[in-house]
Amino acid sequence: MIRMNTWHLPNGFRFAGIHSGLRASEPGRLDLALIVSDLPAVAAGVFTQNRVCAAPVHVCRERLPANDVRGIVVCSGNANACTGQQGLDDARRMTALAAGAIGVDAKKVLVCSTGVIGRLLPMSVMEAGIPKIALALAAGSDALERAARAILTTDTRTKIRTRALNGFCIAGFAKGAAMIGPNMATMLAFVLTDASIDVTDLAAIAPVAADRSFNCISVEGHTSTNDSLIFLANGQGAKLKGAALEQFRQAAIEVCAELARDMASDAEGASHLVTIDVVGARTDAEARVIAKTVAESALVKTAIFGADPNWGRIVSAAGYAGVPFEERQLSLALGDFLLYEKGTPLPFDAAAVSGYMKANRELTMRLTFTLGAGRCTFYTCDLTYDYVRLNADYTT
Amino acid sequence: MIRMNTWHLPNGFRFAGIHSGLRASEPGRLDLALIVSDLPAVAAGVFTQNRVCAAPVHVCRERLPANDVRGIVVCSGNANACTGQQGLDDARRMTALAAGAIGVDAKKVLVCSTGVIGRLLPMSVMEAGIPKIALALAAGSDALERAARAILTTDTRTKIRTRALNGFCIAGFAKGAAMIGPNMATMLAFVLTDASIDVTDLAAIAPVAADRSFNCISVEGHTSTNDSLIFLANGQGAKLKGAALEQFRQAAIEVCAELARDMASDAEGASHLVTIDVVGARTDAEARVIAKTVAESALVKTAIFGADPNWGRIVSAAGYAGVPFEERQLSLALGDFLLYEKGTPLPFDAAAVSGYMKANRELTMRLTFTLGAGRCTFYTCDLTYDYVRLNADYTT
């Protein structure tokens, strides 16, 4: 059998993905994942900024950063969010079950969940499923792919990105297709490496990687209760200091950025992946605010779905982003078509622009300001009938 | 003929609405409105906060507040936004044409536009249409209704609200069905009274009325380039001081709030009008931020469309509004169904809640915090296939 993907896998990690029965109505669908590090791993995480945050997020926050993480147990189909004290007890019980199954202390295991909010976890399913998944743990790409599949919700495909560097590998996998807003969203991402890194260095890299990747995508701007990005580094490979640390940092950012783009590309119901480049803003932060505002405009997103070159919606969305500018300081291009130059509309061939929008699944819009050197590349998708259909009936 | 509506009309105003040809593809559709005050009127306005603002907004801002306004000319079908210097020249020319037709100085006429952004106005149509509309001016309900119809874009019905008070009347009319976000949106509203009021008093009331009405509705949160709320008071009726001024202020707020609710109810493609009551927040301002965030969540709006009691989306939207709170400080009811109480989910009959959502065009959700006395009532709509359809192909 020829593999389409050759993953560069870090040493010392094992994976599993099984059907535990949490998704009772979908027999055989993988719904429980387990990641195990054979040696204690340095670990750091970045979590949702939502004030309403899921029980597993509370548990991970308590335990990170850490020097001795041995595993992460993840269920999909139930978010264990808005579940009160019972939810917290259940999340801790999941870590105890996984820890028992692999023979470590409960506090050395982390937990993530994704799915419907506001329902208590059926713990009998977890009591049976978690010991069972431990028996399925294996190293290698097939096991990784099963784990990556088991965390998916409405995603249509797994999201895995890896890198081989000088003396270590990085493997990342993620899920997320809706409830995706900047500042992390319904997304889970796990980045594993066999490099040896100090916990303070890893804890410093994690938020930067999140900021340059998952915080630069939006499906509909709804920040989830469950967002989690967790790094594990088990120290079996090269020791990261100086240039090697910087190399790791860059590679970690790249892996996260690729996973983030994979999410925007697989967004619920999307028919276009849209890259929004904002350049010439006062600062990178202002560029991101503008890009995010354009990315989240339902009017921009429906126009893209309809291949309608209604560029006034883009310019007007930039205008209400809360960033001060004058119209003469803004130009807009859609693909190669310059539509608006320093505050003045240009004549353009509407049929040609619409044709560009129809013919390409991936579109680019560029907002060029004359304010400074601030820039941001942001990814979003269009708003389609299928997005409405998928979200009009999710729990019932 | 029996009239369904009896409007309480202020004395001294005349109205007209005609088909000028600006909507060339829709023969007979009214697309030009004119409001004339027979005496110089005290005038104040509130306009879009969008940095990209339409040419007529620039012109109105230059001229208001004022003591001697004689008219407002309004076109629908073209926003005259993102049109550079030519757009400004065209907006001023519209006021000069209207002023010439009614025999007053150009600066005594205001101008508004609504429609597609980024297209130059076909001025030959305005040159012919504006003198023609002046000939159609008349007092009375029929003329008011024609003016109210001529300013509509994707609205399905006119929005008119009036009040008769002690010695004066107030008549308001408005348009707006999409590109509606708080902080004013693609909305135009005109509030006319024959009361006698000082310009400083009127200029103080206008932003309060906007804040309590049009800034408490959202269709999709896209703040328009053209939002305008203009008050005219021609001084033919009672002099407003003391208690009478306060009575006017309250009535003006009520008229604006009714017009705002009419807009949310007529939102593009909407199948539900949703009232979001936030109570017990720290301040009214924080209550509004939370209500607005819930109102603009595509996930909340699609769940309402689908009559899906996926209440976790509502709670999680509140959580990312940027207002600090703990989950145990929040309870949620949908209609009469209490779903989440002080951070804990309650058992509920999903079929019954879904039935409530299906059976009622008007739904209420109430988020109760235990933080203080801050409150806000906010109106929004659901996100439907029709919204996507209407907006996927608007310009082309």
Q: Which residues lie closer than 8 Å to B243 by C-beta, 6 or more apart?
A: none
Structure confidence at residue B183 (pLDDT):
43
Q: Out of B118, B305, B354, whose CB is closest to A345? A: B118
Model confidence pLDDT, tens digit, residues A246-291: 999 999 999 999 999 998 888 888 899 999 999 999 999 999 999 9
**What CA–CA distance (Å, rounded) separates A345 from A220?**
29
Structure confidence at residue B1 (pLDDT):
41
Instruction: Answer yes or no: are the C-beta atoms of A270 and A157 closer than 8 Å.
Output: no
The larger pLDDT score, comparing residue B176 to residue A372, is at: A372
Structure confidence at residue A390 (pLDDT):
82
Q: Span A187-213, mean pLDDT? A: 93
Whether residue B221 is predicted with pLDDT greater than 80 in this model: the reply is no
Active-site hit among A186, A193, A380, A384: A186
Model confidence pLDDT, tens digit, residues A161-187: 999 998 999 999 999 876 655 443 468
Residue B243 CA from chain centroid, whole number: 27
Structure confidence at residue A165 (pLDDT):
93
- Contact state of B391 with A302 under an 8 Å Cβ cutoff: yes
pLDDT band at A2, cuts 50/70/90?
very low
- Contact state of A354 with B310 under an 8 Å Cβ cutoff: no
Reference A335, options A357, A351, A314, A315; nearest CA is A357
**What CA–CA distance (Å, rounded) separates A256 from A263?**
11
Q: Out of A84, A299, A324, whose CB is closest to B391? A: A299
Q: Span A12-19, mean pLDDT? A: 97
Per this entry, what is the length of chain A? Answer: 396
Q: Which residue of A has its CA nearest to B387?
A: A302
Structure confidence at residue B178 (pLDDT):
67
Judging contacts by C-beta atoms under 8 Å, the chain A residues touching residue B303 are 391-392, 394
Model confidence pLDDT, tens digit, residues B89-106: 999 999 999 999 999 999
Whether A13-265 and A273-392 share one fold: the answer is: no
Test mutation, A49, A186, A219, A320, chain B, max B CBs within 10 A:
A320
Residue type, B151: I
Percent of chain B with pLDDT over 70: 95
Q: Out of B223, B302, B324, whose CB is closest to A388? A: B302
Active site residues of B: 186
pLDDT band at A389, cuts 50/70/90?
confident
Structure confidence at residue B390 (pLDDT):
82
**Which residues face A74 on adjacent strands?**
A33, A112
Please report how many Cα atoms fall inside a 13 Å half-sphere around the Cα of residue A167, on the Cβ side. Answer: 15
Whether residue A4 is predicted with pLDDT greater than 70 in this model: the reply is no
Chain B: closest CA distance from residue A237 (Å): 39
**Which residues face A363 on adjacent strands?**
A274
Whether residue A304 is predicted with pLDDT greater than 90 in this model: the reply is yes
Q: What are phi and psi for residue B40, nearest 5 degrees?
A: -60, 130
- Contact state of B395 with A310 under an 8 Å Cβ cutoff: yes
SS (H, E, C) chain A: CCCCCCCCCCCCEEEEEECCCCCCCCCCCCCEEEEEEEEEEEEEEEECCCCCCCHHHHHHHHHCCEEEEEEEEEEEEECCCCCHHHHHHHHHHHHHHHHHHHCCCHHHEEEEEEEECCCCCCHHHHHHHHHHHHCCCECCHHHHHHHHHHCCCCCCCCEEEEEEECCEEEEEEEECCCCCCCCCCCCEEEEEECCECCHHHHHHHHHHHHHCCHHHECCCCCCCCCCEEEEEECCCCCECCHHHHHHHHHHHHHHHHHHHHHHHHCCCCCCCEEEEEEEEECCHHHHHHHHHHHHCCHHHHHHHHCCCCCCHHHHHHHHCCCCCCCHHHEEEEECCEEEEECCEECCCCHHHHHHHHHHCCEEEEEEEECCCCEEEEEEEECCCHHHHHHHHCCCC
pLDDT band at A323, cuts 50/70/90?
very high
Q: What is the largest CA-CA distance in chain B?
A: 69
Test mutation, B47, B50, B52, B334, chain A, max A CBs within 10 A:
B52
- Contact state of A391 with B303 under an 8 Å Cβ cutoff: yes
**What CA–CA distance (Å, rounded) separates A94 from A22?**
13
Test mutation, B57, B82, B271, B369, chain A, max A CBs within 10 A:
B82
Q: Span A5-12, mean pLDDT? A: 87
Q: Span B230-255, mean pLDDT? A: 94
**What CA–CA distance (Å, rounded) separates A182 from A172?**
19
Judging contacts by C-beta atoms under 8 Å, the chain A residues touching residue B316 are 50, 52, 81-82, 117, 179, 222-225
Q: Please identify, in words, the CATH class of the domain defined by A13-265.
A: alpha beta
Model confidence pLDDT, tens digit, residues A118-153: 899 999 999 999 999 999 999 999 999 999 999 998
Structure confidence at residue A183 (pLDDT):
43
Judging contacts by C-beta atoms under 8 Å, the chain B residues touching residue A344 are 83-85
Chain A: closest CA distance from residue B311 (Å): 8
Q: Which residue of A has its CA nearest to B50?
A: A320
Reference A73, options A143, A11, A133; nearest CA is A133
Chain B: closest CA distance from residue A125 (Å): 20
Q: Span B162-171, mean pLDDT? A: 93
Please state the domain extents for chain B.
Answer: 13-265, 273-392
Q: Span B379-385, mean pLDDT? A: 90
Chain A: closest CA distance from residue B394 (Å): 7
Structure confidence at residue A267 (pLDDT):
82
Q: Out of A83, A310, A326, whose CB is closest to B394? A: A310
Whether residue B198 is predicted with pLDDT greater than 60 in this model: the reply is yes
Ranking A206-215, A326-335, A348-357, B381-390 by mean pLDDT, the lowest is: B381-390
Q: Span A215-231, mean pLDDT? A: 83
Q: Span B350-354, mean pLDDT? A: 94
Q: Please identify, in words, the CATH class of the domain defined by A273-392.
A: alpha beta
Test mutation, A224, A226, A388, chain B, max B CBs within 10 A:
A388
Q: Out of B117, B312, B384, whose CB is closest to A117? A: B312
Structure confidence at residue A180 (pLDDT):
59
pLDDT band at B182, cuts 50/70/90?
very low
Q: Out of B222, B305, B308, whose CB is closest to A395? A: B308
pLDDT band at A385, cuts 50/70/90?
confident
How many residue pairs bridge chain A and chain B with CB atoms within 8 Å of each other? Answer: 238
Model confidence pLDDT, tens digit, residues A330-366: 999 999 999 999 999 999 999 999 999 999 999 999 9
Ranking A210-214, B134-138, B151-155, B223-227 by mean pLDDT, the lowest is: B223-227
Model confidence pLDDT, tens digit, residues A100-124: 999 999 999 999 999 988 899 999 9
- Contact state of B340 with A297 under an 8 Å Cβ cutoff: no
Judging contacts by C-beta atoms under 8 Å, the chain B residues touching residue A306 are 391-394, 396
Structure-block tokens of residue A175: 């899920």
Chain B: closest CA distance from residue A239 (Å): 39
Q: Span B29-44, mean pLDDT? A: 96
Whether cis (ω within 30° of 0) applies to the bond prior to B56 is no
Judging contacts by C-beta atoms under 8 Å, the chain B residues touching residue A183 are 320
Judging contacts by C-beta atoms under 8 Å, the chain B residues touching residue A323 are 51
Judging contacts by C-beta atoms under 8 Å, the chain B residues touching residue A341 are none
**What CA–CA distance (Å, rounded) separates A385 from B389?**
8
